[in-house]
Structure 1
């Protein structure tokens, strides 16, 4: 796991250590809930309101930096498949200013939720959808095919290049009858019309 402090201002650690154990745990719970797929995002405004009610005043940028830091820390720990002890050790190596109570909170939360975060990240990778890079088509005449009832029927071959989430570009091909190709064309036009309204 890369040391998260390398990409984060030292002030973030100071701000985290200013929080009470309960307040830090509450903020981390928001982040861990997102990383476990229980929420659609991290609501920084809700975290900020909770801080204000507890008497902790942080500027908008400082709060955003803190949330990003904790998000990166937990996400990196999940990708690296490290234990709670290893997480705390990496954080201490990166910045000696960590308070013992803050590290205890992070250790406890990662012990409880780390496996779930890892599982969710693995599921996201498996469910990730690739991005269409290129599409080519050609018209042909069927000599034999499972989809065409009679020989000498026209068909369209589509060759799709897709960039997988891993970064690998793969090729997929499919044969469509003329009515299937016309239906696909119609669907693409409908998608384009919807996207223009966004």
Structure 2
């Protein structure tokens, strides 16, 4: 079965990268939340999976796992779900494939995948050109704050204002990340002017 071989390839990647061991560290409730977010993302209900925020909460609970490892797990699980949806796998077919493909996948992870897929698997619709559509990131949120630079190594008293902007974006794989940058007041005014120009163009569409 093509779907089965695709799942096997994903799980070989999981084993090779040690992600299965990392899944074993994640408590069942956090892994369930990760799977829920992935399903919602595949259903276009949320722009992406906030692995950074989830990783921080897992670390706060005393589990040592990096955001890169969690992102890798999210990508693999997302691939598993989208492959299963594309091939209309039933819950039993998916679990059987997972069970035959890799023995290292923790039992609690299989239980979560079984439950999530049984409850929501049929709701996922993966179009043939879905992969082609997701070639750029998606804007999620923007935050900004005004600051004043007081001093530097070469100048004791600067006191010039600047704007710090944080853009929250979902990359093509569905991972949500923050991009932060600073602008001088003239740069920010130019930035604002370009947004006004975009808004004016959009009003004519």
Normalized against structure 1, the TM-score is what?
0.57
Out of 75, 78, 97, the residue aligned to residue 71 of structure 1 is 78
Q: 1:87 corresponds to which residue?
A: 94
**Alignment partner of 1:8 is 2:8:** no
Which of the two has higher C-alpha Rg? Answer: 1
In structure 1, stretches of 5+ residues that fail to align are 130-190
Instruction: State the distance in 1 between where 2:44 and 2:32 align.
Output: 18
Instruction: State the distance in 2 between where 1:27 and 1:54 align.
Output: 16
Out of 94, 114, 122, the residue aligned to residue 121 of structure 2 is 114
Contact 2:52 2:67 (8 Å CA) reproduced? no
**Alignment partner of 1:32 is 2:31:** no
Q: CA RMSD in A?
A: 2.5
Post-superposition Cα deviations, 1:123-154, rounded to whole Å, max 9, x if no partner, equal x749x87xxxxxxxxxxxxxxxxxxxxxxxxx
Contact 2:41 2:47 (8 Å CA) reproduced? yes
Q: 1:23 corresponds to which residue?
A: 30
- When residues 40 and 112 of structure 1 are mapped into structure 2, their CA distance, relative to the original with a 3 A threshold, is same
In structure 2, stretches of 5+ residues that fail to align are 134-197
Post-superposition Cα deviations, 1:57-85, rounded to whole Å, max 9, x if no partner, equal 21232122111111111111111110111
Q: In structure 1, the residue corresponding to 2:84 is in which secondary structure?
A: helix
Instruction: State the distance in 1 between where 2:98 and 2:14 align.
Output: 12
Contact 2:34 2:49 (8 Å CA) reproduced? no
Contact 2:55 2:66 (8 Å CA) reproduced? no
Q: Number of residue pairs matched?
A: 128
Deviation at 1:18, TM superposition (A): 2.1
Higher relative contact order (CA 8 A, sep 6+): 2
Deviation at 1:50, TM superposition (A): 2.2
Instruction: State the distance in 1 between where 2:91 and 2:25 align.
Output: 22
Instruction: State the distance in 1 between where 2:61 and 2:34 align.
Output: 12
Deviation at 1:45, TM superposition (A): 1.1
Q: 1:97 corresponds to which residue?
A: 104
Contact 2:15 2:104 (8 Å CA) reproduced? no
Normalized against structure 2, the TM-score is what?
0.56
